[in-house]
Structure 1
């Protein structure tokens, strides 16, 4: 989820935690515990200061893993104990554990996903039923916070909200299944589907769709039950070993291949004899442009002149960033 929603979750948990007698003595300690706990797994965002490849390879990775889901609450409890002194460390730790767990848990429902099961497996868990920012979830949480602030009992406000959100998630899973079935039905007579991706947008009835078949890639959107494929491209295998042996160890290419769950590639010869290898994530098509790509530019001598990975929303900006690197 986005930062604003995680903060709203932290404030909501703070409201509920005020009813714990061991937490009610210091509202500041309670709020700090729950809000920090709701945000701390995303502390890996600082990796973006280094470069995109490092950020993409690690964001929602180890900081959302099993060991860190256990470690973060311990660190928060120690911090709260040092700052606020007279607090019940056990209850602080338990509430911090709940906040951290919920952060990691809700993130698996996005398209980006997390490596929540590390070190058991490094696989990205991407259930893709809730957009990174879901306006309905955010609005419901904010409404609950307002009702609590004007004096309603937190149990009266937030327990029904938990039930509403549970039902909302079930609805999103059913919608995803229905759209996937509809999308497959629309192409199944012509091709054999190999991989299917269906993910939400900020609009409740609009979903992103990407389907790879034996022969073609189909990319489009659903509007209710109406499926519109805006891009159909002949599918090709990965570049030959002649190309891949030169780019496979580039950190931007390696990061893309590890992160992206459905993609295609292009090899374009340049006027100067260089070759551009472009890997295109099919999940992010908007206004005719694929915004998440990885690019490696090979010179005539098969050396990587420059490479790039990241989100860019126009070809012009992409080329500027590419050569800036």
Structure 2
């Protein structure tokens, strides 16, 4: 989920914790648990700072180690130790339990996004992405804000957020059922599909679709249960040419390939350089595919410029690359 949603989730979980008799019986425990749930709901995304270095490092590592099984166990211990030092009168066991819940829920809800997490590390580095809830979901964010306002107006926070989470649980079920119906429709249209990726959007009834069979990539969109295939691309295996292999060694391309499960490739040759482009097919927007990795190599196959990330026009891509005009 996005940062704003994780923040309101931490606040809501702190309010829910007041149903715990041990928490409610001590102001020190109440305060410490509230701090623990807010910090715990944010701490796995500390790897966002990697974006300050470059996109390649961020793409390769975001929602990786910080969302892994060891991290889910270590973060609550670290936060509990710091908060308990500030509030030694607090009940340390309940402080840890609610902080652990905040960290666990953060990672758990991220699994339902299309981006996903490497939540099963160190057992596997595979990305776990169920693609049921958009990274920012207006309904989930809004219902949290409404719950916080109701609490501020004097309602019991524990029961307010208990009801809210029951509603959200039902919402997740509805989203799962909606995705399942879209998947069934895609299978009717492409019965020989070997892979199908369905990703949510901001709108409840709209979904992005990327699928493939042995020979073709299909890109589409579903709206109100109706699936439309918008683009088709011939599926050509990436060749093992010297140019491609040199491009794969670039850190931006390598990061892209480690993350993207469905993409097409292009190679262009100019007077004094080559340009290799990998294009993720999951994020079609207004006929454009904004998530790419591009590398330029000279005639000796040394990298001149490269970039990976989101760009919404060719002009902006050229600026990102500080490039030779192509």
Query: What are the Cα deviations for residues 89-108 of structure 1, in whole angstroms up to 9, with x where unaligned?
Result: 22111111000000000000
Contact map agreement 1:195 1:262 (CA 8 A) in 2: no
Give 2:100's aligned residue.
Answer: 97
Deviation at residue 160 of structure 1 after TM alignment: 2.2
Give the alignment's Cα RMSD to 1 decimal.
1.7
Classify the secondary structure of the residue corresponding to 2:120: coil
Deviation at residue 324 of structure 1 after TM alignment: 6.8
Classify the secondary structure of the residue corresponding to 1:178: helix
TM-score normalized with structure 1 length: 0.94
Aligned match of 1:173 in 143, 158, 176? 176
Deviation at residue 156 of structure 1 after TM alignment: 2.7
Give 1:289's aligned residue.
Answer: 288
Query: What are the Cα deviations for residues 219-268 of structure 1, in whole angstroms up to 9, with x where unaligned?
Result: 12111122222222222111333333212221111111111121111112
Extract structure 1 runs of 4+ deviating beyond 4 A. none
In structure 2, C-alpha distance between the alignment counterparts of 1:196 and 1:20, rounded to whole Å:
43
Task: Kindly report which structure 2 residues correspond to 1:212-251, keeping only aligned pairs within 5 A, or say none.
Answer: 212-251=212-251
Deviation at residue 21 of structure 1 after TM alignment: 4.1
Q: Is there any run of 5+ residues in structure 2 with no aligned partner, and where?
A: none
Change (3 A) 1:239 1:322: farther
Classify the secondary structure of the residue corresponding to 1:289: coil
Give 1:304's aligned residue.
Answer: 303
Query: What are the Cα deviations for residues 281-304 of structure 1, in whole angstroms up to 9, with x where unaligned?
Result: 111110111111111112222222
Give 1:155's aligned residue.
Answer: 158
Deviation at residue 5 of structure 1 after TM alignment: 0.7
Q: Which moved more, 1:4-13 or 1:222-231?
A: 222-231
In structure 2, C-alpha distance between the alignment counterparts of 1:324 and 1:267, rounded to whole Å:
16
Deviation at residue 84 of structure 1 after TM alignment: 2.7
Query: What are the Cα deviations for residues 107-132 of structure 1, in whole angstroms up to 9, with x where unaligned?
Result: 00001100011001111001001000
Deviation at residue 204 of structure 1 after TM alignment: 0.6
TM-score normalized with structure 2 length: 0.94
Q: How many residues are aligned here?
A: 321
Q: Relative contact order (C-alpha < 8 Å, sep 6+): which is higher? A: 2
Give 1:316's aligned residue.
Answer: 315
Give 2:259's aligned residue.
Answer: 259
In structure 2, C-alpha distance between the alignment counterparts of 1:287 and 1:75, rounded to whole Å:
45
In structure 2, C-alpha distance between the alignment counterparts of 1:79 and 1:324, rounded to whole Å:
48
